[in-house]
């Protein structure tokens, strides 16, 4: 490869037939444009098994480092996009998702827009939006024993179904409350439509800089979801009187066991995730489209005057 070669990572949920087919299609489109697709080792084996004639392909981290990536094309649902964000962590390449799952809240396009999406990726015809992420640390006796990050959320959950956790919630290095619960979700605005939403948390616009704290089945009078400032560290400590151990999950992908006494400290990460957008539109439109919200009877402004109407309201 020459120094000016373009490197586009293709991430597909190759365990599903439609996603595997889409991955093969995208790789062939890139090859036809004179670009060698970059894939992870998991995708490499599945793609070559399904399409032995598919060549050339470059292996991420072996032939092409993540820092050399220009863009990441993701084919699947939100889980696949979270995996792609993990693969591309540490580089500035934006992710552009084509939804092949159910809701696909992080995706930018649908299956029928695949060819247009690839062409616009090749042309560099997109804008980049940055999403806040979380830095997550686990401490035992003041020693950091585990570090990771999250785009959607970090959750502290009970490890045993029949036992609850006893935790103390801390914000800005000050204790807020102790209570028993099934778990705690600490979320970004991006994750406010994911696990935090299922737990009763508010939907927060992605342009808002904040950290959400959502208790799960808490046995306490004060157990409402909280929205705290982005510079406020949030800590969850498993009290020694907890009936069982816990487990930390980040984005449903990275996990770490938590014994009583463990302390999970969550802060805003200095490194965001970058998403490529083909159309700039209000977040409310994405909410309505993804959740199929009823808006019949709306008598608002026509689209050409919407901006003026927003300024007057």
Sign of CA dihedral 276, 278, 280, 285: negative
The answer to whether 285 is a known catalytic residue is no
Those residues with Cβ within 8 angstroms of residue 139's Cβ, 6 or more apart along the chain or in another chain: 145, 262, 263, 264, 265
CA 57/CA 44 separation, integer angstroms: 8
Nearest Cα neighbor of 191 from 277, 126, 253, 278 is 253
Torsion of CA 37, 64, 91, 110, to 10 degrees: 10
- Tokens standing for 214? 């959502």
| Full DSSP string of 120-161 | HHHHT--EEEEE--EEEEEEETTEEEEEEEESSEEEEEESST
Sequence-ordered alpha helix ranges (H) in the chain: 17-32, 41-50, 78-87, 114-123, 195-198, 283-291, 306-312
Integer angstrom CA distances of residue 20 from 47, 54, 83, 102, 158: 7, 13, 16, 16, 35
CA 227/CA 209 separation, integer angstroms: 10
CA 5/CA 302 separation, integer angstroms: 45
Catalytic residue among 78, 123, 125, 257: 78
Give the end-to-end CA distance of the chain in Å, rounded to a whole number.
55
Q: How many residues does the chain have?
A: 313
Active site residues: 78
């Amino acid at each position: 490869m020459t120094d000016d070669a373009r490197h586009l990572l293709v991430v597909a949920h190759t365990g599903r037939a439609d996603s595997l087919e889409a991955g093969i299609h995208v790789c062939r489109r890139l090859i036809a444009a004179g670009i060698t697709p970059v894939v992870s080792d998991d995708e490499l084996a599945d793609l070559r098994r399904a399409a032995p004639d598919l060549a050339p392909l470059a292996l991420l981290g072996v032939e092409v480092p993540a820092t050399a990536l220009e863009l990441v094309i993701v084919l699947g649902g939100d889980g696949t996009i979270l995996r792609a964000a993990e693969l591309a962590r540490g580089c500035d390449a934006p992710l552009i998702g084509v939804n092949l799952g159910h809701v696909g809240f992080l995706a930018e396009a649908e299956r029928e827009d695949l060819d247009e999406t690839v062409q616009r990726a090749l042309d560099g015809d997109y804008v980049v939006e940055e999403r806040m992420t979380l830095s997550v640390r686990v401490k035992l006796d003041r020693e950091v024993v585990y570090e990771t990050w999250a785009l959607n959320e970090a959750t502290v959950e009970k490890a045993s179904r029949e036992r609850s956790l006893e935790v103390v919630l801390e914000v800005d290095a000050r204790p807020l409350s102790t209570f028993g619960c099934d778990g705690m979700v600490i979320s970004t605005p991006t994750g406010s439509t994911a696990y935090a939403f299922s737990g009763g948390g508010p939907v927060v616009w992605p342009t808002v800089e904040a950290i959400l704290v959502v208790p799960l089945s808490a046995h306490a009078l004060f157990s409402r979801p909280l929205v705290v400032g982005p510079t406020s560290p949030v800590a969850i400590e498993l009290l020694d009187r907890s009936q069982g151990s816990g487990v930390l999950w980040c984005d449903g992908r990275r996990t770490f066991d938590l014994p009583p006494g463990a302390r999970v400290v969550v802060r805003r990460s200095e490194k965001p995730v970058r998403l490529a957008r083909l159309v700039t539109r209000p977040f409310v439109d994405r909410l309505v489209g993804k959740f199929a919200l009823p808006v019949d009877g709306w008598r608002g402004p026509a689209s050409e005057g919407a901006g003026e109407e927003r300024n007057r309201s």
